Structure 1
């Protein structure tokens, strides 16, 4: 459907240039000579959006006319990154644009870099959602996203004197060329108020009065599939004042309303923040569910078959209020019986669990939940009451079990429990994660609902993380095995026949060196530090959290530095250790780890005795666009979470796909990576999940035993508090205490010796160039299994029951 009539603007270079110059003057009101890079980005973005508009409309019309079942993916995060480059790639028009702009003296790369990363997410949860949208469109599956249009996203991270400083993320300050405001489809969402009971025509009805209404205005972003005619939609809701009257002061009401879509993850240390977070979650699901029902009713006339035409997926616990909200609509608006509404709700909704950490399984105090969402609380109470009656029939007299499984207990509403009871499918995101859910964390629920639980190991879109992020490697793969792997990533296994080939190995090494040069340039521009691109680039980039164990990495580097300083016979191959991570603003401990990394970097990088062999780099403001430079440059992928704590990980897959070799625990998807590449192509160390869980349940771990009996451990732990770093004496005391007084919750000291040993293997193996390159090529070859295309096809077939829906040209 592309390239017809006025849409021929990308048909050849000359027409593109002519159109570009005309559009620039029209959109920006200035001549080409006066234009800035941002003007040029704005112009090209508008051209792309105009180019795809007919197909975007046609996709929606096709889905309606064929009555195709559609999935709606609800997520509090969508970490999209920059969109221009990805859209040009997926539309197959990048080459024309690049050549045409070059003729005009414009660098397409500079134009792409002027785009802000969309500030709609934080980490793996949001990036997974973005990869899933890409795969849905690229596989011609009818699937759309619903999220919140955050004004500021998380935050921009600056490192000042080694400390994280948070600045507002201003991703929308120049507008968003990809979005289309749809005020005509705005939805009213209500909070507070009181529930009235009405006896009408022999049934009990409910309505909420004196609600405080806010308006959810949708902004639609096209999701372009790779070389397909499918363009799905990501709909983001913006919170705006409602025209309905309110008792509040108008300015106070305006501030409170706009706060709902202002910031991702507001600090919930106090009740005010808790209320805002709960508001955000209900705002997302209420606007989305009302919109879905409206669309369904408009095209089908009724909602009795909703579950046959609509699948609603909740990504983690944040959108779990979709369950009682759908019940509210079916009961109060559609006048269904409880039984009919409950059947439709369960059959429509499915849930992905992303964690085994109890603190991440949301629980809302009743004292906050009930007044803010009175009708929703009534429905949750009824769901809980009916569920507990079922439990009583199955387990009469087992009060402890029933209390443990109840949705409301101890004055808390337990969102994961609500998600399990109110959906037809609960999936984990890696084999080990799903097994832990079934056998331990959610064992009572698994025994009660065994057919609901299933596994869907995460995946990543190879189009962004290889084809776009690493064009040098993609080009080499095309030369070796052809380009069919782009459409069928499983074909990457054909590379296995090249892993012993000396010529191909040399070419792989050249690509890696070129990518390390690109990252080294970025490092120098940001930090002023020159790094050796012949050194091992050892990388750990991910959200900063204690269980992800950036601290283990730091203590190992401290050990290496001590050895290099004091033992002249000790040698290592030159290493550059690279970190990137944001700590949540209220996560005091994580921010101390960032300060520690930067204090270590200051010490190591300026030591002339050792800095030819050891460098430490912390790259501030880790984000998708920076990740696209980091993953292709990495030699070693650090995936060192405490076993059983990381549900899956997706960074491990991105590193693997770009030829990095994993150093990891037997946790999350690391286990499945090991199964794919074999023991000899991955470096595994540390406790197993069974050992960790055994310690948690039975005790027996004493961190002080390792502190007292291993001189290496003792030395680096003491250096946290003995004046080794030129900081205040108590600066790293919380870290020291966590390892000693608080008994090292994440087994850092227990695993340190094993981690040191495995890194000695890495050091030796890297110097055997042939063997290392064989390992690298094997990882690339087996990475096709970890694409989000595979994951989405499994979701589509097993959970959502949606089908391929390609339009006929």
Structure 2
């Protein structure tokens, strides 16, 4: 019999009656219950499946269109994806938000009540993962065929709680109740090997792994906005082989021994970024990285062979983007498959590999440019080390041919660091194995080519290019700030700006319009009331919706200088105790997580909470200063904080932040930035105008010069009476005893020049207070910030990647 071209799909109607019928049907058939006995969790799961069905329909048509077009596909490899909650986004992208609201109302429920059951997937930590999510969204919106590859972490990073002021990590069992958005594919498991030996077979090298785990895929749907395209993010979970459970040990009462191989295998995908302070943790991290790339590269090759047979077309049909160094092992893994499994010659395999990969470097920090001990690498991945050595030899031969006798250059560019310990340099491997390398902001790319990767830029200047990061306006305005989105759409005559963010420039002429300013302020105040309600419930701290909301929200790291902000808080506390008129009413909001093993910044979190406790209880500053630390920062928390923010703290030491995306999200929602000339702050300031940005501090060149010179932070701190007083207040126990170690980081080496930038920062904060005292001026600045952020759309970022690196054409998916 003739089979239909498309799979038979259940009827998916577009009316409220159709939607209600499908919801009740899913409640009955998927949850096994009825409306009379259903819990709210049942209704949430059924609603999610009802929305998901509409995306599945689009996904089927997307796959059919891609199969017919056989296009060049973008494969995005990332250790993190911070996707955020899925229900509200998918309601928006399927155009069913109003219908769902009406149907639930008829059933006696609110959409907000049901949406509270939606759980954010625990697949990321910070800007790296959120960028990945924004780019996948923009890829689908641009109709570009793409697949994201990542790890399906059982427990994510961690759920942050605060106990006695200190960060405590709890498991983030995000899928405990099951995720209605996830499609497990147990029949597509892929074996992944570790350890073992390399043997010679018929003149070819072959790896015989000693240990094998199974990579079990599942996928989440990634719809485009205003289009029929639905791409996927494919996530891999480590599973033990069925023989790993030892029945004999179990029968003998040795239950722990019986499951130790199962636990060993499944630990690989248990948590994001296992602590690398122990040998076990370091080995687990390297295992995790290879597990991801082994599964992904195998899947990419499989997909290629579904439509193609000629290896010469591989690099034309596939581009693999490495999101930082975590997936750099994909380079030797693809080489291994090509030369060992498919028996291509070395030169052909290398040409294919280099033509396929592109690498995004997200850091300038030396410690973030990963290296792995050769001994660990050899024990875990012996064949891959041989391939790395071979790549390195050819690489060093090329350097010698172009720069004969330059031994020092060969040493600096080698994939192998020789001293003090032999280590494999993963960033070097990614650069050598890619045809394109990009930074993520103008300054970052320049510093990459002038400092961090300067020798490579000298060797291959045409390989380096800039692609400034961007964010999704659908997620961070339409979903996070619906009041502002409605106001913008009303003024611009529709929501076309959601896919063409440059249209926001039309708001600029309204910056001085009194009525528009009033409405703009009303939106911001309502958003502050939402944040105040959450903060009160979560921490007990009251936020005044009429006070300046001053936010420092991001991953905790010393270079991001949460400590500089805290020293400003302590100085304000001193000033206000002396004179309540010193500053405007202000609420300072901190949020962010510290890596479990990063004890220095965990101590800063503890000090923040200690300062907050004293300040918030001090009647001398009541109504003038509040400090709140909101725990467990993630996309959902950002969606509360970002719309309510008045002042955006982007105060990292110049030359340390690659780009930042929090600065973009906050400015797009009308926050005014106080910041250094670091990362994308430079481009942000250029676009919003110097008069609408509070600049302070050393620039990158000045900071580098000061670090090279005779910098004495202790002497400088004592020479500034207010800084000395703030440090003495902390040292003297005003905020609790035992924070000497935190002060040592400032008064000792002061790696991130907190003392050097302190006075300039306070002067800029005084300018902030003056501007806030003039509501019309501040509102004008706020409007102009949002109106000037069109450049920072992820849609523009994807267009830049497409034109400069990927060369991937869109494939239009026809409507059903």
**TM tier, shorter chain?**
over 0.9
Shift of 1:713: 1.1
**For structure 1, which runs of at least 5 residues remain unmatched after alignment?**
none
Is contact 1:684-1:758 (8 Å) kept?
yes
SS of match in other structure, 1:526: helix
| Residue 141 in structure 1 maps to residue 152 in structure 2 | no
Shift of 1:245: 7.8
User: Which of 516, 535, 539 is the equivalent residue of 1:504?
Assistant: 516
Is contact 2:470-2:664 (8 Å) kept?
yes
Is contact 2:244-2:261 (8 Å) kept?
no
Is contact 1:661-1:776 (8 Å) kept?
yes
User: Residue 744 of structure 1 aligns with which residue?
Assistant: 750
1: CA distance between counterparts of 2:188 and 2:758?
Answer: 56
User: Residue 101 of structure 1 aligns with which residue?
Assistant: 104
2: CA distance between counterparts of 1:393 and 1:250?
Answer: 57
| Residue 710 in structure 1 maps to residue 720 in structure 2 | yes
User: Residue 224 of structure 2 aligns with which residue?
Assistant: 225
1: CA distance between counterparts of 2:417 and 2:723?
Answer: 43
User: Residue 126 of structure 2 aligns with which residue?
Assistant: 123
In the TM superposition, what whole-angstrom CA distance separates every residue of 1:469-494 from its partner, at most 9, and x where no partner exists? Answer: 11100110111112221221111111
1: CA distance between counterparts of 2:424 and 2:398?
Answer: 18
1: CA distance between counterparts of 2:802 and 2:380?
Answer: 35
SS of match in other structure, 1:115: coil
Is contact 1:429-1:457 (8 Å) kept?
yes
SS of match in other structure, 1:673: helix
Shift of 1:61: 2.0
| Residue 757 in structure 1 maps to residue 763 in structure 2 | yes
SS of match in other structure, 2:469: coil
Is contact 1:212-1:246 (8 Å) kept?
no
Is contact 1:579-1:618 (8 Å) kept?
yes
| Residue 405 in structure 1 maps to residue 404 in structure 2 | no
User: Residue 801 of structure 2 aligns with which residue?
Assistant: 795
User: Which of 512, 536, 552 is the equivalent residue of 1:524?
Assistant: 536
Shift of 1:143: 1.1
In the TM superposition, what whole-angstrom CA distance separates every residue of 1:758-799 from its partner, at most 9, and x where no partner exists? Answer: 111110101111111111111111111101000001111211
Deviates more, 1:17-26 or 1:653-662: 17-26
Shift of 1:394: 2.2
Shift of 1:244: 7.1
User: Residue 30 of structure 1 aligns with which residue?
Assistant: 33
1: CA distance between counterparts of 2:471 and 2:541?
Answer: 32
Question: 1:214–1:250: structure 2 CA closer, same or farther, 3 Å change rule?
Answer: farther
Question: 1:745–1:245: structure 2 CA closer, same or farther, 3 Å change rule?
Answer: closer
1: CA distance between counterparts of 2:562 and 2:591?
Answer: 10
User: Residue 733 of structure 1 aligns with which residue?
Assistant: 740
User: Which of 528, 531, 534 is the equivalent residue of 2:546?
Assistant: 534
- State the number of aligned residues: 797
User: Residue 12 of structure 2 aligns with which residue?
Assistant: 8
**For structure 2, which runs of at least 5 residues remain unmatched after alignment?**
250-256
In the TM superposition, what whole-angstrom CA distance separates every residue of 1:369-396 from its partner, at most 9, and x where no partner exists? Answer: 0110011111001111111111122222
User: Residue 781 of structure 1 aligns with which residue?
Assistant: 787
Q: For residues 344-363 of structure 1, what are the structure 2 equivalents within 5 Å?
A: 344-363=352-371
1: CA distance between counterparts of 2:613 and 2:108?
Answer: 41
| Residue 634 in structure 1 maps to residue 633 in structure 2 | no
2: CA distance between counterparts of 1:759 and 1:806?
Answer: 50
SS of match in other structure, 1:573: coil
User: Which of 695, 718, 733 is the equivalent residue of 1:723?
Assistant: 733
2: CA distance between counterparts of 1:245 and 1:6?
Answer: 40
Shift of 1:673: 0.4
User: Residue 386 of structure 1 aligns with which residue?
Assistant: 394
User: Residue 683 of structure 1 aligns with which residue?
Assistant: 694
SS of match in other structure, 2:789: helix
SS of match in other structure, 1:653: helix
Is contact 2:558-2:601 (8 Å) kept?
yes
1: CA distance between counterparts of 2:75 and 2:772?
Answer: 46
Q: TM-score, normalised by structure 2?
A: 0.96
Shift of 1:808: 2.9
2: CA distance between counterparts of 1:144 and 1:275?
Answer: 28
2: CA distance between counterparts of 1:81 and 1:482?
Answer: 29
Shift of 1:243: 4.6
User: Residue 76 of structure 2 aligns with which residue?
Assistant: 73
Is contact 1:163-1:594 (8 Å) kept?
yes
SS of match in other structure, 2:269: coil
In the TM superposition, what whole-angstrom CA distance separates every residue of 1:723-748 from its partner, at most 9, and x where no partner exists? Answer: 22233xxx21111111112x211011
User: Residue 252 of structure 2 aligns with which residue?
Assistant: none
User: Which of 54, 61, 65 is the equivalent residue of 1:58?
Assistant: 61
Shift of 1:504: 0.6
SS of match in other structure, 1:218: strand
Is contact 1:297-1:303 (8 Å) kept?
no
Question: 1:210–1:79: structure 2 CA closer, same or farther, 3 Å change rule?
Answer: closer
Is contact 1:213-1:244 (8 Å) kept?
no
Is contact 1:59-1:231 (8 Å) kept?
yes
Q: TM-score, normalised by structure 1?
A: 0.97
2: CA distance between counterparts of 1:775 and 1:245?
Answer: 62
1: CA distance between counterparts of 2:736 and 2:750?
Answer: 25
User: Residue 438 of structure 2 aligns with which residue?
Assistant: 427
| Residue 591 in structure 1 maps to residue 602 in structure 2 | yes
User: Residue 254 of structure 2 aligns with which residue?
Assistant: none
User: Residue 268 of structure 2 aligns with which residue?
Assistant: 260
User: Which of 676, 679, 682 is the equivalent residue of 1:668?
Assistant: 679
Shift of 1:304: 2.5
User: Which of 175, 178, 200 is the equivalent residue of 1:172?
Assistant: 175
In the TM superposition, what whole-angstrom CA distance separates every residue of 1:286-331 from its partner, at most 9, and x where no partner exists? Answer: 1110111012123212323100001101000000001000100110
